[in-house]
Amino acid sequence: MAGTYARSTDVSSGRSRDEIERTLERYGADQFLYGWQDDAAVVGFRMGGRHIRFILPLPAKTERRFTHHSRGARAPDAAQKEWEQAVRQKWRALALVIKAKLEAVESGIAVFEDEFMANIVLPGGETVGDFMRPQIAEAYRIGAAPNMLPMLPAPNRPA
């Protein structure tokens, strides 16, 4: 799925990563990391004793939206340019998200842990989002929140 924010940006991915790093430093991060593989990039940082990780899904170069247009197949160099544009857009959107969250915290609109909840890395290496998504799905499936004390029967369910 392609977003609309920064759809035609000419800001390079590298400049967006640099902007993210400078923004994090300005707001008090004391660690920063970046890495990538074929289908994703990762940005991580530590702030206020919390480790935060964003996984940025990257489009595959072979996606039809890059390799073809309404009149048929694109030339390889044109497909590469379309793909690079999509990657630049993703990086601009991530820079916006991180900056907006940090500013919301700095302005007193939100609490750091609330803004970054899904991206906080737990001691085992998974994020809060990774941990909670299945639990949220199960709560909706059964129509009830999990027991706070699972060893006791829930008051609204038979033992």
32-61 average pLDDT score? 96
Does residue 110 fall inside a structural domain?
A: yes
The verdict on residue 130 lying in a domain is no
Domain that holds residue 75: 13-121
* Residues 85-138: tens digit of each pLDDT: 999 999 999 999 999 999 999 999 999 999 999 999 999 999 999 999 998 898
Residue 51 domain flag: yes
**Residue 137 is assigned to a structural domain of this protein:** no
* Paired strand residues for 51: 46
Query: Other C-beta atoms within 10 Å of 21: how many?
Result: 17
Per-residue pLDDT band for 156 (boundaries 50, 70, 90) equals low
